[in-house]
């Protein structure tokens, strides 16, 4: 019994001396830009792409300047170089759908969208690189 009391007297006061936890989180850069050369995107193509996007369901999950269900269009523009390879790759992703590039959100497929229209829409998004 004396041993238990001695243990409690020595151990319990030390419980209040726990190190303080630092609960501040550093912001995580989720963009992870891909290096590459960007080509210029003609204004007329970017404008047409913006119109096409407004007629589809894109703005349900995306916003121009802020993250929503999916990434902001400006964040997509920061990640990918604006060149033929990435425009075609992203256009295919718009048509087929996908997930994993920006977290766990899933982008619905748009199988009725033509490849040319998808490229035009992606061109608009990538034209936001400097905005």
pLDDT of 13 above 70: no
Distance between start and end Cα atoms, the chain: 74
CATH class of 40-130: mainly alpha
Q: Residue 9: which pLDDT band, with cuts at 50, 70 and 90? A: low
Q: Which of 68, 86, 71 is nearest to 123 (CA)?
A: 86
Q: Where are the domains of the chain?
A: 40-130
Please compute the mean of the pLDDT values over residues 110-129 and round it to a whole number.
97
Q: Which of 81, 77, 46 is nearest to 62 (CA)?
A: 77
Judge if pTM exceeds 0.85.
no
Q: Residue 11: which pLDDT band, with cuts at 50, 70 and 90? A: low
DSSP conformation class of 64: S
26-71 pLDDT per residue, tens:
555 667 899 999 999 999 999 999 999 999 999 999 999 999 899 9
């Amino acid at each position: 019994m004396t041993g238990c009391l001695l243990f409690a007297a020595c151990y319990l006061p030390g419980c209040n001396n726990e190190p303080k936890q630092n609960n501040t989180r550093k912001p995580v850069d989720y963009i992870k830009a891909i290096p590459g050369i960007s080509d210029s995107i003609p204004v007329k193509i970017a404008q047409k792409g913006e119109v096409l996007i407004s007629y589809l369901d894109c703005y349900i999950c995306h916003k121009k300047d802020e993250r929503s269900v999916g990434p902001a269009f400006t964040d997509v523009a920061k990640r990918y170089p604006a060149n033929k390879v990435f425009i075609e790759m992203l256009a295919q992703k718009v048509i087929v759908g996908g997930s994993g590039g920006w977290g766990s959100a899933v982008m619905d497929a748009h199988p009725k969208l033509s490849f040319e229209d998808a490229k035009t829409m992606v061109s608009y998004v990538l034209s936001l690189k400097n905005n």
